[in-house]
Structure 1
Amino acid sequence: MEGQLFTVFFLIFTGAAVLASVALYTRQPLLVAYIAIGIALGPFGFSIIDDVSAVTEMAEIGIVFLLFLLGLDMQPKSLLAVLRSATSIALVSSALFAILGFCLGLAFGFNVTEAAIIAMATMFSSTIIGIKLLPTTVLHHKHTGELMVALLLLQDFIAIFCLLVLISGDGGSLQLQNLAIAIVALPLLIGLAWLAVRFVLLKLVARFDRFHEYIFLLAIGWCLGLAELAEHVYLSAEIGAFIAGISLATSPISQYIALNLKPLRDFFLVLFFFSLGARLNIDLLPSILVPALVYAVAVLTLKPAVFFGLLKQQGEKPALAWDIGFRLGQISEFSLLIVFVAAGSGLIGDKASLLIQAAAILSFVISSYIVIFNFPNPIAVSDKLRRD
């Protein structure tokens, strides 16, 4: 792909535009078009784009911007209150989903280590699917968004712990030093962000607010800078970006930044879904198709039910509990990262890796259909459900 980046972008976005037009005419979710063009053009399809590593790396920026914009819409005080109430739900649900994944892994004939990786991959829900399909206008119940964000952030912390287990030490043994650094660094990063915004960023904005290009550049630099710093202290870029966003949430320019960064976020998210489809090894797919279908159906069925039960037990209204349950009723992109790390360490074989990838994509697609056709969202094909 070296020296052909323009051609690669042409193929991805022109192809995505064509398939997206077909998807809209046939009343299908746009995410399906992005994944389909990835499968078709990628190394396991027609192999027109045979190296997607650079695209995959760029695509991760979309998740970073998504979390940054998410933080811009959150008020710190209300988020802290929701985090306290969501902790027990996140812990209990993650434990139940891990048990589900472990049992399925053993039932499919994988060894204990591979079943444990499948258990980890089952614990989390997709930040992209959950948040991209969540309306941001005042027409949507704000409490739903706050509760979803709290649950997804808590899942991110659990995922970071899982990744530290996989990538540290010989044989996957946990380096307590890295975990301790991450725990200590989190409040320090929050404090640093607050001080930087109060004493540096807001003063720069007040002085140069008439230069819109500068405000745009400052926002991107702040987002990516804190994301990079978070990675260096064993947190994730997503958490760093979210902290960067929420530190600006109470400032008068937060909504201006959010409005201007949305097209940039969508650009990178198209790359994310393309790379997701391109990395799916369809040659091995027939050998794990039935287990992947069983796995995906189990997740799509049980996750909404578990979230519904836990949320209702905590006093949430049934309609809101089902809404959140179905929005979080899939496997996560974080799960794919866990798979890639585990595969690189030799902890799982090709079949176990492909099982999780295939089930994740199936759960993404089917979950998107469920939300798009039944709940308010920005890309609904029905005018009644479309909320920007």
Structure 2
Amino acid sequence: MAFDIVFSFGIIMIASTIVALIARRFKQPLLFAYLITGVIIGPIGLALISNTQDILVFSELGVAFLLFAIGIESNFSKLFRMKYLIVFGSLLQVAVTTAIVFALMGVLGFGFIESLYVGLILAFSSTVIAVKYLSDKNQINTLHGRLIIGFAIVQDLVAVMLLPLLARPETIFDIGLLSGFLIGLAVLFVLAVLLNKLLLPRLLKSNAKNQELFFLIVISTGLGFMYVANLVNFSIAVGAFIGGLTLSNLPYNTEALSRIRGLRDFFTTIFFVSLGMQLTLSIAAFPIALAVLMFLTVYLLNPLIYYLITYFAGYGSRNALTVGLALEQASEFSFILAAQALMLGQMSQGVYSVAILVIVVSMATTPYMLESSSKAYSFLHSVFKRLFPKYSSKKFNRKLKELEYLPKEELEGHIVILGSGVFGNSVAAVLRNYATVVLIDHNPSNILSNIKKRLYSVYGNGESEEVWQKANIEGAKIVISTIPDTRAAMSIIKRLREANEKSVIFARAHNFEEALQMYKLGVESVIMPQVLGSNECIRQIQNFLNTGKTISSKLKNEFINYLKGKAALERKYS
């Protein structure tokens, strides 16, 4: 029937909605719900969608739009300070993982090209899952967040380069074919640069106020690059990613992403459901030894490699462990590689089935792995300390030392401010005149800005034992929480109240229920900025309605000058 594909889309979305609602009820990740949906409606479940061709089309479309959104979100400027670690660390990890898996598959009797494919499938990590988790936890700008995203983006760029080469391995040894590949790649990147510099800035600026035209320009950019990529014999996913990168550094990239967010979420759902639909229970088709090798690679080898790279680079064991766990899963490009290999006859159905199983399971378990990272670190740290009591890790914390500025004398009776945003810094600027103030934040840019302004600061999470000791939170006279993470704020407040009943605690709440919970934990004063702001706004509006007068021009100009001064400081220290 002509509308079969439409009905298939409908089945996917309806089933996804039902399963996602159930998952939310039991506080499970939506990603897990989408993968389970695919299993339920796919060939091994209810077989509501059994057409293999439709499933592959959904997967390719889903991953293309997904990578288009990732390209737009890729902000290289924030990663510039770590450029050498991110580039060489990613290349080292991909090379080591691929080489080890390739060698072991040779021992198991697999062929050259199939072994190479599997090595690369396992070497890449998911940018989508990493960005989604970090965004949900408000950790995008943390040190580990920037490392995770940086490593994942470099992997994506490597995958973009390798996909067409793997499709035609003879290209490497044929000057004519290699020239064609390089010309095709050059066409895509030259087109991206020209559009980025000459056309798109003007188009987006002139149509920024017209939502429909703005949306069409953004979508046309993605679809246009998919079309050009197909013309030069590249995957449409590669074209979509390069199209996203074309928009990534433009002033309107945030607006562009917000306009396509609904479409991105739609195709994200399609992609992960289609992955679930490709699972098979045919045990006969599963090379068991290969399955064991692949699971050991994603759950042990990859995290270990990233842990060692990050640790020896000087970012400490906590950041290293978080980076390792965040990048343990297979990637969207892993699926593209597997699908390409199967389609071109470079991979058997049995190996493909195992690859899809590993991709799905590793993606589904990542949120749970990351949620347990703090407990895992505490456990491993305590075991290591008992086994090696004299070991010093100062050498491997040198990058964290650069994000630390504390007084030489011992901290006692001081003020600790959790969070170094606008709220926290404004409070610190006043209170430093009354006592020693220490700011704690997990955004390295904020800490570096504070250090330039000679504000005592520590990088990290107030829940971690290291930060607790460095800032001597337990010995503080006043503790002020301005952090947006409610769970973390509650945890710190509870621990502090148990350790020191005399500490005076002030905290910021986002809603009334949260404020009540904080008072129950022993907070002396809870501030709700949005309530204070709305009350002041109401007062001014009522004053205008009663008197016909707004704030005086003098006060207004004074406030504007104050804002200009603060904005200038932000630009100076950012």
TM-score normalized by the length of structure 1: 0.82
Match of 1:384 in 2: 487
Q: Against the structure 1 CA distance between its residues 331 and 216, is the aligned structure 2 distance closer, same or farther, given a 3 Å change threshold? A: same
State how far apart, in whole Å, the 2-side matches of 1:300 and 1:212 are. Answer: 44
Match of 1:350 in 2: 349
Match of 1:269 in 2: 268
Q: Is the 8 A contact 1:72 1:254 kept in 2?
A: yes
The amino acid that maps onto 2:92 is V
The amino acid that maps onto 1:305 is L
Match of 1:379 in 2: none
Match of 1:29 in 2: 29
1:242 deviates by 4.0
1:95 deviates by 1.8
Q: Is the 8 A contact 1:100 1:122 kept in 2?
A: no
State how far apart, in whole Å, the 1-side matches of 2:172 and 2:332 are. Answer: 24
Does residue 125 of the first structure (1) align with residue 125 of the second (2)? yes
State how far apart, in whole Å, the 1-side matches of 2:347 and 2:55 are. Answer: 25
The amino acid that maps onto 2:42 is G
Q: Secondary structure at the match of 2:280?
A: coil
Question: Larger strand proportion, structure 1 or 2?
Answer: 2
State how far apart, in whole Å, the 2-side matches of 1:384 and 1:105 are. Answer: 45
State how far apart, in whole Å, the 2-side matches of 1:146 and 1:240 are. Answer: 25
The amino acid that maps onto 1:41 is I
Match of 1:311 in 2: 310
Q: Against the structure 1 CA distance between its residues 10 and 65, is the aligned structure 2 distance closer, same or farther, given a 3 Å change threshold? A: closer
- Between Structure 1 and Structure 2, whose CA radius of gyration is higher? 2
State how far apart, in whole Å, the 1-side matches of 2:124 and 2:486 are. Answer: 31
Q: Which moved more, 1:87-96 or 1:245-254?
A: 245-254
Q: Secondary structure at the match of 2:131?
A: helix
State how far apart, in whole Å, the 1-side matches of 2:322 and 2:244 are. Answer: 25
Q: Against the structure 1 CA distance between its residues 383 and 292, is the aligned structure 2 distance closer, same or farther, given a 3 Å change threshold? A: farther
The amino acid that maps onto 2:365 is I
Q: Is the 8 A contact 2:302 2:324 kept in 1?
A: yes
Q: In the TM superposition, what are the counterparts of 1:219-234 in structure 2 within 5 Å?
A: 219-233=218-232
CA RMSD of aligned residues (A): 3.4
1:213 deviates by 1.1
State how far apart, in whole Å, the 2-side matches of 1:240 and 1:124 are. Answer: 18
Q: Is the 8 A contact 1:42 1:279 kept in 2?
A: yes
Q: In the TM superposition, what are the counterparts of 1:160-171 in structure 2 within 5 Å?
A: 160-168=160-168
Does residue 15 of the first structure (1) align with residue 15 of the second (2)? yes
1:329 deviates by 0.7
1:136 deviates by 7.6
Q: Is the 8 A contact 1:197 1:248 kept in 2?
A: yes
Cα offsets for 1:237-265 (capped at 9, x unmatched): 44544443344344442222212211210
Q: In the TM superposition, what are the counterparts of 1:212-223 in structure 2 within 5 Å?
A: 212-223=211-222
Match of 1:340 in 2: 339
1:111 deviates by 4.9
Q: Is the 8 A contact 2:59 2:275 kept in 1?
A: no
1:191 deviates by 4.5
State how far apart, in whole Å, the 2-side matches of 1:321 and 1:183 are. Answer: 36
Q: Against the structure 1 CA distance between its residues 80 and 234, is the aligned structure 2 distance closer, same or farther, given a 3 Å change threshold? A: farther
Give the unaligned 5+ runs of structure 1: 377-381
State how far apart, in whole Å, the 2-side matches of 1:38 and 1:296 are. Answer: 21
The amino acid that maps onto 2:487 is K
Q: Against the structure 1 CA distance between its residues 190 and 109, is the aligned structure 2 distance closer, same or farther, given a 3 Å change threshold? A: closer
Q: Is the 8 A contact 1:24 1:30 kept in 2?
A: yes
Q: In the TM superposition, what are the counterparts of 1:1-388 in structure 2 within 5 Å?
A: 2-79=2-79, 82-106=82-106, 110-111=110-111, 114-135=114-135, 140-141=140-141, 144-168=144-168, 175-183=174-182, 186=185, 189-233=188-232, 236-284=235-283, 287-288=286-287, 291-293=290-292, 295-372=294-371, 374=373, 384=487
Cα offsets for 1:264-319 (capped at 9, x unmatched): 10100111011111112223378546752553144212211111111222333433
Q: Secondary structure at the match of 1:140?
A: coil
The amino acid that maps onto 1:159 is A
Q: Is the 8 A contact 1:55 1:271 kept in 2?
A: no
TM-score normalized by the length of structure 2: 0.58
The amino acid that maps onto 1:97 is T
State how far apart, in whole Å, the 1-side matches of 2:30 and 2:243 are. Answer: 29
Q: Secondary structure at the match of 2:125?
A: coil
Q: Which moved more, 1:116-125 or 1:1-10?
A: 1-10
Give the unaligned 5+ runs of structure 2: 375-441, 443-484, 489-574
The higher relative CO (CA closer than 8 Å, separation ≥ 6) is in 1
The amino acid that maps onto 1:54 is D
Q: Secondary structure at the match of 2:337?
A: helix
State how far apart, in whole Å, the 2-side matches of 1:235 and 1:82 are. Answer: 30
Q: Against the structure 1 CA distance between its residues 149 and 124, is the aligned structure 2 distance closer, same or farther, given a 3 Å change threshold? A: same
